[in-house]
């Protein structure tokens, strides 16, 4: 099986983390090829000629691009183990809605919280806390977004837990003070091996993001 599944990967990418989590949930063996985005491989350019971005899942020689699409593909192909999307169409729509919310709000706003300074950073921090509170409201008292089982929205959001230390340190706030239930949810997710082995250490991520920030500032 391993020779049939390749992931064009990058340790620090929250989008690649989603795919690593989904593959681990399903117990699928695969080959991870770490990309250097400053020198993209010919394979990446061939497999994702439109966006030229990781992650790309190559299954039996054919590429699937865009992390949420890849996670849904994995869930459909390996449907017998650990379903990620719920079975009812309405529940599936809700899970996709929240995953889309994460894509539209958390990545770009979070990037400004660790990557910007001054008023831009302050505004982004307020917006991000607002988004986290909305997500916390949706979570309510459930263990996971979809209810009792770890699922699609959890996979979409949990990679950003690896940013928490960087967000808090750069913008001087406490996520646990603002959103205790969201942090409890993140810790619950981290108890799963699929998640803990797919997310890097938060301090390692902080150091990486600060290097990236220096590069942005130098431009």
Ligand X SMILES: N[C@@H](CCC(=O)N[C@@H](CS)C(=O)NCC(=O)O)C(=O)O
CA distance linking residue 144 with residue 142, whole number of Å: 5
Least spacing, CB of residue 37 vs ligand X, in Å: 5
Cβ closest to ligand X, residue 176 vs residue 210: 210
> Could you tell me which of 98, 99, 172, 189 has the C-alpha nearest to residue 138?
98
Shortest CB 186 distance to ligand X, Å: 20
Shortest distance in whole angstroms from residue 68 CB to ligand X? 6
28/35 Cα distance (integer angstroms): 21
Phi first, then psi: give them for residue 87, nearest 5 degrees. -80, -30
Could you give the CA distance from residue 158 to residue 97 in angstroms, rounded to a whole number? Answer: 16
Pick 57 or 135: Cβ nearer ligand X = 57
Q: Which is nearer to ligand X, 71 or 182 (CB)?
A: 71
Q: What is d(CA 99, CA 204) in angstroms, rounded to the nearest whole number?
A: 26
Closer residue to ligand X (CB): 21 or 179: 21
138: CB partners within 8 A, 6+ apart? 98, 145
Which CB atom, from 15 or from 185, has the smaller least distance to ligand X? 15
Binding site for ligand X (CB under 6 A): 10, 13, 15, 37, 52-55, 66-68
The least distance separating ligand X from the CB of residue 119, rounded to whole angstroms, comes to 26
Question: Which of 170, 187, 176, 178 shows the shortest CA–CA distance to 109?
Answer: 170
Q: How far is CA 106 from CA 7, 30, 140, 193, in A?
A: 24, 28, 19, 24
**Least Å from the CB of residue 42 to ligand X:** 15
Q: Is 129 helix (H, G, I), strand (E, B) or coil?
A: helix
Q: Which of 189, 118, 179 is nearest to 149 (CA)?
A: 189
Give the nearest distance from C-beta 40 to ligand X in angstroms: 7
CB-nearer residue toward ligand X: 139 or 156: 156
């Amino acid at each position: 099986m391993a020779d049939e599944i390749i992931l064009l990967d990058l340790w620090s990418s929250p989008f690649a983390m989603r795919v690593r989590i989904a593959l681990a949930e399903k117990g699928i063996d695969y080959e991870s090829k770490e990309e250097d985005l400053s020198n993209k491989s010919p394979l990446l350019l061939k497999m994702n000629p439109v966006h030229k971005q990781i992650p790309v899942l190559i299954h039996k020689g054919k590429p699937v691009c865009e992390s949420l699409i890849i996670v849904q593909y994995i869930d459909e192909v390996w449907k017998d183990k650990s379903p990620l999307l719920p079975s009812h169409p309405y529940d599936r729509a809700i899970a996709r809605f929240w995953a889309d919310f994460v894509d539209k709000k958390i990545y770009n706003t979070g990037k400004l919280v660790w990557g910007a300074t001054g008023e831009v950073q302050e505004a982004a921090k307020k917006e991000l806390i607002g988004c986290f509170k909305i997500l916390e409201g949706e979570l309510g008292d459930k263990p996971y977004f979809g209810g009792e089982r770890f699922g699609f929205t959890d996979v979409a959001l949990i990679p950003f837990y690896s940013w928490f230390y960087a967000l808090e340190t750069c913008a001087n706030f406490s996520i646990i003070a603002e959103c205790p239930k969201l942090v409890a949810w993140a810790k619950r997710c981290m108890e799963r091996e699929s998640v803990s082995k797919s997310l890097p250490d938060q301090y390692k991520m902080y150091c990486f993001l600060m290097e990236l920030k220096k590069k942005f500032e130098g431009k």
